[in-house]
Amino acid sequence: MAIDFTLEDDVVAYRDRIVAFVAEELIPLEQDTFRTGLTDDLRRDIQTKARARGLWAPQAAGEYGGGGYDYLQAATLLEAAGYSLLGPLALNCHAPDEGNIHLLTAVATPEQKERYLRPLIGGEWRSCFAMTEPPPGAGSDPAALQTTATRTDGGWVIAGEKTLITGADGAGFSIVMARTGDEAGAATMFLVDADNPGWVVTDHVRTIDSVAVGGHCRVLLDDVAVADDAVLGDVGRAFANAQVRLVPARLTHCMRWLGAAQRAHDIALDRANNRSLFGEPLVHHGMAQQLIADNEIDLAAARALLWHATWQYTTGAKGTEQSSRAKVFVSEATFRIVDRAVQLAGGMGTTDELVIGRIFADIRAFRIYDGASEVHRMSIAKRAARRMAEQQH
Amino acid sequence: MAIDFTLEDDVVAYRDRIVAFVAEELIPLEQDTFRTGLTDDLRRDIQTKARARGLWAPQAAGEYGGGGYDYLQAATLLEAAGYSLLGPLALNCHAPDEGNIHLLTAVATPEQKERYLRPLIGGEWRSCFAMTEPPPGAGSDPAALQTTATRTDGGWVIAGEKTLITGADGAGFSIVMARTGDEAGAATMFLVDADNPGWVVTDHVRTIDSVAVGGHCRVLLDDVAVADDAVLGDVGRAFANAQVRLVPARLTHCMRWLGAAQRAHDIALDRANNRSLFGEPLVHHGMAQQLIADNEIDLAAARALLWHATWQYTTGAKGTEQSSRAKVFVSEATFRIVDRAVQLAGGMGTTDELVIGRIFADIRAFRIYDGASEVHRMSIAKRAARRMAEQQH
Amino acid sequence: MAIDFTLEDDVVAYRDRIVAFVAEELIPLEQDTFRTGLTDDLRRDIQTKARARGLWAPQAAGEYGGGGYDYLQAATLLEAAGYSLLGPLALNCHAPDEGNIHLLTAVATPEQKERYLRPLIGGEWRSCFAMTEPPPGAGSDPAALQTTATRTDGGWVIAGEKTLITGADGAGFSIVMARTGDEAGAATMFLVDADNPGWVVTDHVRTIDSVAVGGHCRVLLDDVAVADDAVLGDVGRAFANAQVRLVPARLTHCMRWLGAAQRAHDIALDRANNRSLFGEPLVHHGMAQQLIADNEIDLAAARALLWHATWQYTTGAKGTEQSSRAKVFVSEATFRIVDRAVQLAGGMGTTDELVIGRIFADIRAFRIYDGASEVHRMSIAKRAARRMAEQQH
Amino acid sequence: MAIDFTLEDDVVAYRDRIVAFVAEELIPLEQDTFRTGLTDDLRRDIQTKARARGLWAPQAAGEYGGGGYDYLQAATLLEAAGYSLLGPLALNCHAPDEGNIHLLTAVATPEQKERYLRPLIGGEWRSCFAMTEPPPGAGSDPAALQTTATRTDGGWVIAGEKTLITGADGAGFSIVMARTGDEAGAATMFLVDADNPGWVVTDHVRTIDSVAVGGHCRVLLDDVAVADDAVLGDVGRAFANAQVRLVPARLTHCMRWLGAAQRAHDIALDRANNRSLFGEPLVHHGMAQQLIADNEIDLAAARALLWHATWQYTTGAKGTEQSSRAKVFVSEATFRIVDRAVQLAGGMGTTDELVIGRIFADIRAFRIYDGASEVHRMSIAKRAARRMAEQQH
């Protein structure tokens, strides 16, 4: 065993098939999708096409219908899927479902897996993850959770408000975090079916991104009654379970957005190859070269750091610190890349038509969700300081 | 005469009335406008309201119905208008009309002024400026102009394609740049009425911004026949006239966007004052303080540099270099400010609802239009190098 | 009164004479000085030359022998002096003496002014300002002051340690801050003659900068006995008096370093004009143009913001916030400028010989002393947050 | 084979021994060395100590006395050596000798290897690499080479001037690049003994760095007569051979400076753990946490990217592009890291005493030598553009 960056043959082959699928099936659909928005009809259509090519949920557990690849292998596959904003959805490796699949695989009961996980991996329905709340509730600080679940005879009643719940509109079920005790940290996860009468998707938050099927919703939990078997993981373990979900969820976000950033760069570079400015090809201009080179460097560095963090996670590290570092770097690097691509492409760079503008608007929130850069930096610094203090003793 | 930053009393009074108008009349209309788009109906409505308060085209020539303020005074007024994305339109100091007003005032004949300028300043119609073209035509390099105007008996026939023409849909007339000779630089400006049968707005480019009434359009110039009195300025003077328009147009863009950046900062700061994270007010967190302080610094520096450049222009400098410097700095500083405001506001920062997300998407193109940052840097560096070379001889 | 950036005629004339002096007398001495270090012999030599040309302490009080210019006028003069690292010393407007002159002018008794201020402005001796201490004493947080002054019969005994005391070695006297009570903030300033037997300059801290005459020293206050008339300002007023000194001290640092940054830029630009790379003049390369343009922009923005802050101070503002903003921006902008000049100049950019390398090493500490950037940002953010909170009520 | 970041056991063991050696033997010598400069006496002393511990030239060919580790393994070892500015010299893996060792191993004749390479790896003498020249000669553009070598009877006469020749003073021999024909690219490398009467080290360029034994020198090649066997590689192959040297030379620079950056970070972090500001530990302040976290992230990203580039090189890639990307990123990231460490450490951060200041001054030139960042970016962009153009056909 030594440092090695060789991709396995079957990963390369799978990736190449994704590349072809994205080019042949998804990119031709993008412009219409940007015009009309991302619907479940489109989702079913492109998921059918992906499955027909044997491209499906590469990161999901094999025994429940996924590809069975580990996250380090998935890094290459999800990046390839992310090359189109439609790719992750088509391959059923998009957020928030990918994270929910991972969480259910890790902590659900066998019955819950049959009922929720298998059809979720199968693409029969979508899901959402209901954690964030309007102020002063849970956001960057999950501990501020306001939604409560109260014990009743044989079950629980959940009451509260959630916001920015991605994919809620049209989801088949939700994983809901609620407070189940007075002590700090006493919270529990529940599986709530979308047809539960207390689960009310009130409206969509009007965000500048466009490619979340089901939008980013406000949800009212209006005395949602659930039975005991709706508890996901154990009572009181919501925060621990959220951590189980969070590390790989961050890493797969990085994988997907790296693909989107590569796409923006490629479009801008191809265009720069074919345009002239002041009588010279655009790519001969030094400042254009700087934009291009900085993108090449950021792409390479982001990928290397992401692989390193993912390797640490797949080989047994808890991965909190490594995924924090990767998430901050990759989210900021991909933003820089896309921003440079906009600039390189000029006026058309801010349009849906050249796709770069769409990626620019969609990627902005990545520096915020799954932990804002600032929150990760706080956590990284505290760990580093503690490690140094221990080392000096 | 000495360095002085005192604002004149009537400027302060005018500004304060704009501030009140924006708060009382425009901000309440923003959310509906973001939902439905910016229409000419809305334009007429808010322009009527502004005029009713005596707030109108502060930068336009007094003899044609404008406020008669010089650009240095206007810096304060247009910034105040820019505090709402609807403000510049309401006060008739928005792009591209503001630049066209300036150009017409400088170079139009008395007859053209009566026919085009007076109703333009009066808000009776809107206008557009048709310079940029699809590749390989005029863009960052105006000299690549492909549209031609051919001499006919008693007039001209203009043929070509234009793209990203802001405000074209619904404009009453356009200032069109066309090549009128084989030599480099042989180009002429024409006034083209929108009801000219050859003037065809084909469609809107789908951009990520939202607040340009009339959109950013593709226009076909399908053998547009105009008479000799449609020539604006002299034949062959299009590039020189474009410079006349460009310097103040850049400066007023800076003024308006500075107001929008201040707005984003204020919203984020007010929100940070009222939120807690990990048990402490958000504004007590060091990384939040860094975002806030960097915004305060960038706002102050951008304003000071903009005033300096504007002062040089209003006191007789040609202003090309000064406005280039200001445009690069202010467009990049305001982008940084809005980006930090997004980050400080968290998930809601990427929404129309908190306005910051809308400003973020709308301000991106400012680093590109009226000269991309790279083109200005090239020009600034060349001048600096030439000046140094002369100084050493 | 309105916004105006006109320099007064006598300021322009004074500046031009400084420019000539720097070019003719100081720049020829630089290389030898870099080799041998900055001595008091050299100081006397260049100060004699400056006085011979009528160039002297432009910012100092006229009645005590200074030029009598206000700080807004001095902005131009001190920048011109800063064009050589020897300039501020030659004109007796260098740190820490300039700040001490200001402080003594503001708070000293008539007797103290005759004894300390007049010869200090006259260049008969140098001074130092003894505030910072080794950990855990006063540094970025002045309130951590550890040195104590104890009341004795008819005087005080001061005991403690100071570090990084600029100019201490060879100074004629020092302004010493010491704790004179148990309550927070109970501290007093004392005038201590260098021949006081308790005042011991133990050694020089080995820093990477080079142009502080008298170095940055460690000082032992070994029971320094002083009489009552050694109290500067009132007992218990040390922190308030330090503020009196601090605002203009920050502003003049900005002025001087702006001159040094301009120098680094000019050297690099002149060199770039005269070198070729890959068969083209260096200034034709886009990435060189970017370095040059960014320097031009940063110089213009830094100067405009500095003038604005200085205008606010000279027209009556306390100036704490304005000078904080200017200090952060100017210290960071000048560092960027010099760093780019190094890069533009290539290998020789890191040398004393081309001067840029020397400026690079010397300017680094400017982001730290007189308040680290982080401390200023904290203060700026708190004020902004408070202002917003008040405005919302 | 798959992606793997496991360090081999013997690499870990070797690294740990380097870590101990640096801590026990080198760090205690640093302050004296900073005071007096780096001499060959010190070199011999620390090289003797390193060899006594079995720590020696890990990257050099085993058959000539080196450690025989490949560059990917050496990445870990040279980083550990770089933790002290004295480390690379002590282990004989410093620049320029490391690069010369690699080049001689690759292209020297058996006789040249015995005469030059074996004693060079053995530490019996030092060497230098004489390529760069004063303007208008070779620098960032090697093709501008002015020094000539003229054919004579049975040998060559070399004439010209070189500058910034690191280690020239005291070197036993030099590899000299000289033009040997009129066509572009016609150049040859020569081995020149330092006792050749035409080889004259005229003086040291006064740079701001400190740890190059033998300085950065100006050298006069005053009709240096050499025999035919002084040709290194083939006649006319100098530029190709320089490429052979350049790729690993860049990579090892990255390795060593990564160690130095880690050191600066560790010192600053340890200090921040032990200092208070405004009544709180410095590491609790958000802005300090940001500096710390950004350093942790940059260190991890730089290391991952460097490993990736080095893996590509050791597994057969030519490595020009990969090493360019790594060199730009690592040189800029390590500079940022050290700059943040200075800031975190406050006033003492700019001193030799806390070491950080010394590293700051020494690391600046790394963004320039072995290809300035701008030159690498130009090359990276051109390759990327070409690749894209080919892909589109």
Does pLDDT of D184 surpass 80?
Answer: no
- Give the whole-angstrom CA distance, residue D251 versus residue D311: 11
Q: Does B367 touch chain A (CB under 8 A)?
A: yes
Q: Does C377 touch chain B (CB under 8 A)?
A: yes
CB atoms within 10 A of CB D63: 11
What single letter denotes the amino acid at residue A41? D
User: What is the count of residue pairs from A and B with beta carbons less than 8 Å apart?
Assistant: 124
Q: Which two tokens stand for residue C342?
A: 């190094």
User: What is the count of residue pairs from C and D with beta carbons less than 8 Å apart?
Assistant: 124
Mean pLDDT of A306-310: 98
Q: Does A377 touch chain D (CB under 8 A)?
A: yes
Question: Percentage of chain B surpassing pLDDT 70?
Answer: 100
pLDDT band at residue B290 using 50, 70 and 90 as cut-offs: very high
Give all chains having 3 or more CB-to-CB distances under 8 Å with chain A. B, C, D
pTM for this entry: 0.98
Q: Which two tokens stand for residue B174?
A: 């356009």
Mean pLDDT of B222-236: 97
Q: Scanning every residue of chain C, which has its alpha carbon at the shortest distance from the alpha carbon of A293?
A: C287
Mean pLDDT of C336-350: 97
The answer to whether the CB atoms of A288 and C286 lie below 8 A apart is yes
Query: For the segment C256-293, what is each residue's pLDDT rounded down to a tens digit?
Result: 999 999 999 999 999 999 999 998 999 999 999 999 99
3-state SS, residue A155: strand
Q: Scanning every residue of chain A, which has its alpha carbon at the shortest distance from the alpha carbon of C287?
A: A286
The answer to whether the CB atoms of A4 and D2 lie below 8 A apart is yes
The answer to whether the CB atoms of C287 and A288 lie below 8 A apart is no
Residues 6+ apart with CB under 8 A from D301: A301, A302, A304, A305, A325, A329, D329, D333
Does pLDDT of D17 surpass 80?
Answer: yes
* ipTM for this model: 0.97
Q: Where are the alpha helices (DSSP H) in C224-285?
A: 238-273
Residue with structure tokens 């308006």?
B256
The answer to whether the CB atoms of C139 and D347 lie below 8 A apart is yes
Q: Torsions phi, psi of B131, nearest 5?
A: -115, -55
- Give the whole-angstrom CA distance, residue C161 versus residue C155: 20
The answer to whether the CB atoms of C374 and D342 lie below 8 A apart is no
Question: What pLDDT, on the 0 to 100 scale, is given for residue C75?
Answer: 98
- Give the whole-angstrom CA distance, residue C239 versus residue C186: 8
- Give the whole-angstrom CA distance, residue C35 versus residue B219: 67
The answer to whether the CB atoms of C287 and A290 lie below 8 A apart is yes
Closest CA relative to residue A339, chosen from C287, D322, B350, B368: B368
Q: Scanning every residue of chain D, which has its alpha carbon at the shortest distance from the alpha carbon of A326?
A: D297
What single letter denotes the amino acid at residue B279? G
Question: What pLDDT, on the 0 to 100 scale, is given for residue B88?
Answer: 98
Closest CA relative to residue A385, chosen from D271, C287, B296: D271
Q: Tell me the nearest-neighbour CA distance from B47 into chain A, angstroms.
A: 27
- Give the whole-angstrom CA distance, residue A334 versus residue B13: 46
- Give the whole-angstrom CA distance, residue A235 versus residue A233: 7
Residue with structure tokens 């000064």?
B322
In terms of DSSP bridges, do strands C231-232 and D148-152 run parallel, antiparallel, or are they unpaired? unpaired
The answer to whether the CB atoms of D288 and B290 lie below 8 A apart is no
Range from A256-265, B95-104, B132-141, D17-26 carrying the lowest mean pLDDT: B132-141
Mean pLDDT of C151-166: 96
Question: What pLDDT, on the 0 to 100 scale, is given for residue D1?
Answer: 77
The answer to whether the CB atoms of A208 and B353 lie below 8 A apart is no
Give all chains having 3 or more CB-to-CB distances under 8 Å with chain C. A, B, D
Q: Does B301 touch chain C (CB under 8 A)?
A: yes
Q: Does A328 touch chain C (CB under 8 A)?
A: no
Give all chains having 3 or more CB-to-CB distances under 8 Å with chain B. A, C, D
- Give the whole-angstrom CA distance, residue A19 versus residue A27: 11
User: What is the count of residue pairs from B and D with beta carbons less than 8 Å apart?
Assistant: 17
Q: Does C277 touch chain D (CB under 8 A)?
A: yes
- Give the whole-angstrom CA distance, residue C13 versus residue C76: 11
Q: What is the mean pLDDT of chain A?
A: 96
- Give the whole-angstrom CA distance, residue D114 versus residue D101: 12
Residue with structure tokens 């700090």?
A184
- Give the whole-angstrom CA distance, residue C349 versus residue A349: 37
Candidate from D207, D350, D374 with C-beta closest to C365 = D350
Question: What pLDDT, on the 0 to 100 scale, is given for residue A307?
Answer: 98
Question: What pLDDT, on the 0 to 100 scale, is given for residue B40?
Answer: 96
Residue with structure tokens 């999950």?
A142
Please name every residue paired with C175 in a beta bridge, in sequence order, or none if there are none: C129, C191
Contact yes or no for A207/A366 (Cβ under 8 A) = no
3-state SS, residue D173: strand
Does pLDDT of B57 surpass 80?
Answer: yes
Q: Which two tokens stand for residue C376?
A: 């200023």
In terms of DSSP bridges, do strands B216-227 and B280-281 run parallel, antiparallel, or are they unpaired? unpaired
pLDDT band at residue B140 using 50, 70 and 90 as cut-offs: confident
Contact yes or no for A283/D382 (Cβ under 8 A) = yes
- Give the whole-angstrom CA distance, residue D320 versus residue D248: 9
Q: Does C276 touch chain B (CB under 8 A)?
A: no
Residues 2-41 of D with CB under 8 A from C: 34-35
Question: What pLDDT, on the 0 to 100 scale, is given for residue D143?
Answer: 84
Question: What pLDDT, on the 0 to 100 scale, is given for residue A138?
Answer: 87
Q: Does A210 touch chain B (CB under 8 A)?
A: no
Question: What pLDDT, on the 0 to 100 scale, is given for residue A393?
Answer: 73
Does pLDDT of B141 surpass 90?
Answer: no
Question: What pLDDT, on the 0 to 100 scale, is given for residue B183?
Answer: 84
Mean pLDDT of C146-161: 96
The answer to whether the CB atoms of D141 and C278 lie below 8 A apart is yes
- Give the whole-angstrom CA distance, residue A378 versus residue C377: 18
- Give the whole-angstrom CA distance, residue B366 versus residue B140: 13
Query: For the segment C298-323, what is each residue's pLDDT rounded down to a tens digit?
Result: 999 999 999 999 999 999 989 999 99
- Give the whole-angstrom CA distance, residue A11 versus residue D2: 10
pLDDT band at residue C143 using 50, 70 and 90 as cut-offs: confident
Q: Torsions phi, psi of B111, nearest 5?
A: -65, -45
Tell me the torsion sign for CA atoms C320, C323, C329, C330: negative
pLDDT band at residue C393 using 50, 70 and 90 as cut-offs: confident
Q: Which helix (H) or strand (E) holds D272?
A: helix D238-273
- Give the whole-angstrom CA distance, residue D305 versus residue C303: 39
Closest CA relative to residue A245, chosen from A377, A142, A330: A142
Q: What is the mean pLDDT of chain D?
A: 96
Q: Which two tokens stand for residue C55?
A: 């160039």
Q: What is the mean pLDDT of chain B?
A: 96
- Give the whole-angstrom CA distance, residue B119 versus residue B108: 14
- Give the whole-angstrom CA distance, residue C315 versus residue A288: 46
Query: For the segment B8-18, what is each residue's pLDDT rounded down to a tens digit?
Result: 999 999 999 99
Does pLDDT of B194 surpass 80?
Answer: yes
Contact yes or no for B361/B349 (Cβ under 8 A) = no
- Give the whole-angstrom CA distance, residue C193 versus residue C172: 6
What single letter denotes the amino acid at residue B287? M
Q: Which two tokens stand for residue A97?
A: 């479902």
Candidate from A311, A376, A389 with C-beta closest to D3 = A311
- Asked if the peptide bond before residue D96 counts as cis, ω within 30 degrees of 0, the response is yes
Question: What pLDDT, on the 0 to 100 scale, is given for residue D277?
Answer: 92
Mean pLDDT of B163-192: 95
Q: Does B266 touch chain A (CB under 8 A)?
A: no
Query: For the segment C191-225, what is each residue's pLDDT rounded down to a tens digit?
Result: 999 999 999 999 999 999 988 999 999 999 999 99
**Angle, CA of C73, B314 and B69, to the nearest 5°:** 115
